[in-house]
Amino acid sequence: MSNTVILALLFGAGIACLIVGLLLRARERERNLAEILDLPFGEHDVPIEAVTEGRNPLAEGAISMAGRMVNQFDAKNSLAQTLERARIPLKAPEYVLVVACAGIVAGSLVGIMTAQIILGLGALAATVAVGAFYPRHKVTKRRKAFGEQLPEALSLIASSLSAGHTFLRAIQMMTEEAEPPLAEEFARVVYETRLGDPVVDALERMAIRLEVPDLRWVVQAIRIQQTVGGKLADLLHTLADFIRGREEIRREINVLTAEGRISAWVLGGMPIALLFAIQVVNPGYAAPLFQGWGLMVLGLTALSVCVGVSLILKMVKIEV
């Protein structure tokens, strides 16, 4: 049994390294091409073979097939938009291919270690679910970090305006001192304005892209200020104080509801961990669960756990 597990681990690691290596090679080629297009002629010489050679045929075929699947099931291109918001440096077909390979490897390892095909399929489904959830989780995390940084950014912009700088120059100075993700998003606003786009329109697109309510209020307030007049610096200071107060309330709520969220994840993960441990230590003990009515019992148990976790998370979720 131990030799089988070791071979399975080595096989899974080899497949994962192969896929990651092929994707990294493709991304390096695209990065070299982007550097050439961004630099003046003759400043950065790169061998022509580095950017003209095609991808590995295996990776090209796999990515092409994944691209057709994405186009068929994701007509609105929501996955690509989510990856862009999450700043994951992969295209939608590449991400689908990585998740699929990770699911196959995880399913194979769990199936071999537990000697149960059902658990292997469950690990495959769980890996795919994690792969689908991860970009949205990262988007939410970046949105939360952006919201926490926004009041200080508005205060810096307001101080620069009071010192006599223009609005665009104040944003540019703020991006030089701020940290990601706020610096990345506002730097994109500066780049868009250099291409001839109005500052407020670039800010509005950023607000739509990030889906941060506080930022939308800021953009609307700036539009109104440009219409009716007034001191923009005083307006930004007022907005910064208001958003800072809302953020303090959010933090207090997160502290008060932390126990409920931890309880939900512990209670939801405990049955899965116990079943996996029992199946590895003593495979025959849980054998009746994988045949006949036992499968229905497992399905109903999984459904009840999912419903319970969802209810707990919904109860502790409070919008401010």
In a domain, 117, yes or no: no
In a domain, 110, yes or no: no
Q: ω into residue 180 within 30 of 0, thus cis? A: no
Buried b (16+ CB within 10 A) or exposed e, 164-174: eeebeebbbbb
In a domain, 320, yes or no: no
In a domain, 137, yes or no: no
Per the CB < 8 A criterion, the answer to whether 154 and 233 are in contact is no
Q: Which of 89, 61, 72 is nearest to 80 (CA)?
A: 89
In a domain, 101, yes or no: no
Q: Which residue has the tokens 């500052």?
A: 199
Tens digit of each residue's pLDDT, the chain (320 residues): 455 555 555 555 656 655 655 555 555 555 655 555 555 544 555 555 554 455 555 556 666 666 677 677 776 778 888 888 888 877 778 788 888 888 888 888 887 877 778 777 888 888 888 888 899 889 888 888 888 888 998 999 999 888 888 888 888 888 888 888 888 888 888 888 988 888 888 888 888 888 888 888 888 988 888 888 778 888 888 999 988 888 888 888 888 888 888 999 898 889 888 888 887 788 778 788 778 788 888 889 889 988 999 899 888 888 76
**What is the model's pTM?**
0.67
- 203 Cα distance to chain centroid: 22
Domain count within the chain? 1
The alpha carbon dihedral of 208, 313, 149, 249 has a sign of positive
Backbone angles phi, psi at 218, to 5 degrees: -60, -45
In a domain, 171, yes or no: yes
Predicted local confidence at residue 19, as pLDDT: 60
In a domain, 222, yes or no: yes
User: Tell me, what CATH number does 149's domain have?
Assistant: 1.20.81
Contacts of residue 241, defined as CB under 8 A and 6 or more positions apart, other chains included, come to 151
Distance CA 147, CA 210 (A): 10
The C-alpha angle 254, 257, 263, rounded to 5 degrees, equals 130
Predicted local confidence at residue 24, as pLDDT: 57
Tokens representing 314? 């919904």
Predicted local confidence at residue 273, as pLDDT: 86
Contacts of residue 249, defined as CB under 8 A and 6 or more positions apart, other chains included, come to 320
Length of the chain: 320
Predicted local confidence at residue 294, as pLDDT: 82
Q: What is the span of the domain harbouring residue 160?
A: 144-252
Predicted local confidence at residue 29, as pLDDT: 56
In a domain, 21, yes or no: no
Distance CA 23, CA 70 (A): 17
